[in-house]
Amino acid sequence: MVYQSSHNCHLVMNLISDSCYSLTGYQSQDFIQNKIFYNQLIHIEDRKLICRQRRKALVKHQSFQLVYRIITANQELKWVWEQGKGIYCSDGKILAIKGLIIDITAQKQVEAELTKQNLALQKTETALIIVNQKLQRLAKLDGLTGIANRRDFDESLEKEWFRLSTTKLPLSLILCDVDYFKNYNDYYGHLAGDYCLRKIAQTISKNVKDSADLVARYGGEEFGIILPETSAKKAKKVAELIRTAIHQLHIDHCASKIRKYITISMGIASIIPTQLDSSESLIAKADKALYQAKEQGRDRIVFFERNDDRHTQTYLKNNNLIVLHNNGRWRQATLRKRARCFH
């Protein structure tokens, strides 16, 4: 629709093409005879803004482009695009406005549908991201105990090894094994065995309090505890807390060959990682210490010395804390004071 109108907000039409009927539902004579003002067709929510934008352009002697809604004679809502410019006197005063108005309703409907589809796609993508994050978390959890699984253990240990090899800070590892757990399963059944493992996992987690530490089910009845930036001395204290807490659970174990309740054996290794070595060496040391703990009677903690093949172990005897050192042969040194961490 081509038009020429007054420059006021009513847009009184001086000239208008016959195509105005297909656009507005009104005949050209309706506008020329002022039976209807074009401004009345502009949606009430758009009217003030469009008038302001048009006036601003005309004052600056600039052309304008506007997008807005109109209500037709049969109350149909349409989107239109208008392009126009002012006709000026020699002194710069505005005489009239001339321009072109076209129907862009179909285009707007396509845009609205695309926007709707894009929003739906964004929601789907967000939902997929959330689901994927949950799956990633679940992929790193042990289904029985709810703590980290072996996959997460391996990835975390490798990551900490690389990180600490640059910072030159210690990395400690504790490997735990439930004593005579096969006997427990055979005697009490697998459901009781599952419950026992869950309680042990919860107890270990409660006593490993640093957010950087990781408690994982290493395999079967074995648990692994990664302690970044933790010295050997601190790792021993953590192990003693865990072993004491397991004792205090007093989970019956009539099939155990050493006590009447559940106990664990623990192997500890501590090292400052280097890029010349690998995390597997730390696992091997902790595993060797765990093997020694089981060989020496179970229900005890054995520490693998970093620089050689010596080991130390701690356990309880007659309610006293016993520390054993190994230099080829075992020799015994008893502490006079009562054990504070074991019951």
Sign of CA dihedral 19, 25, 30, 34: negative
Task: Please indicate whether residue 221 is annotated as part of the active site.
Answer: yes
DSSP H helices, the chain, are 20-24, 28-32, 38-41, 44-59, 105-139, 150-167, 181-188, 190-207, 232-249, 279-295
Write the class of the CATH domain 143-338. Answer: alpha beta
How does pLDDT run across 13-47, given as a tens digit for each residue? 999 999 999 999 999 999 999 999 999 999 999 99
Model confidence at 126: pLDDT above 80: yes
Cα distances (angstroms) measured from residue 271 to each of 88, 158, 161, 222, 241: 87, 14, 10, 21, 21
Q: CATH 3.30.450.20: which residues of the chain?
A: 2-103
Band (pLDDT 50/70/90 cuts) for residue 254 is: very high
* pTM for the model: 0.61
Band (pLDDT 50/70/90 cuts) for residue 333 is: very low
Note the pLDDT of residue 334. Answer: 38
Q: Which of the residues 82, 160, 221, 240 is marked catalytic?
A: 221
Say which range, 11-20, 154-163, 236-245, 311-320, has the weakest mean pLDDT.
311-320
Note the pLDDT of residue 319. Answer: 46
108: its two tokens: 């707007």
Which residues, in sequence order, are CB contacts of 330 under 8 Å at separation 6+? 296, 324
Note the pLDDT of residue 188. Answer: 96
Note the pLDDT of residue 321. Answer: 47
**296-321: b or e for each residue (b if 16 or more CB lie within 10 Å)?**
bebbbbbbbbeeeeebbbbbbeeeeb
Band (pLDDT 50/70/90 cuts) for residue 309 is: very low
Q: For residue 10, report the phi and psi dihedrals to the nearest 5 degrees.
A: -75, -20
Q: CATH 3.30.70.270: which residues of the chain?
A: 143-338
Q: In angstroms, rounded to a whole number, what is the distance separating the alpha carbons of residues 31 and 319?
A: 107
Note the pLDDT of residue 324. Answer: 53
Note the pLDDT of residue 306. Answer: 52
Q: In angstroms, rounded to a whole number, what is the distance separating the alpha carbons of residues 278 and 161?
A: 7
Domain at 2-103, CATH from 2.40.30.10, 3.30.450.20, 3.10.50.30, 3.30.413.10 = 3.30.450.20
Band (pLDDT 50/70/90 cuts) for residue 278 is: very high
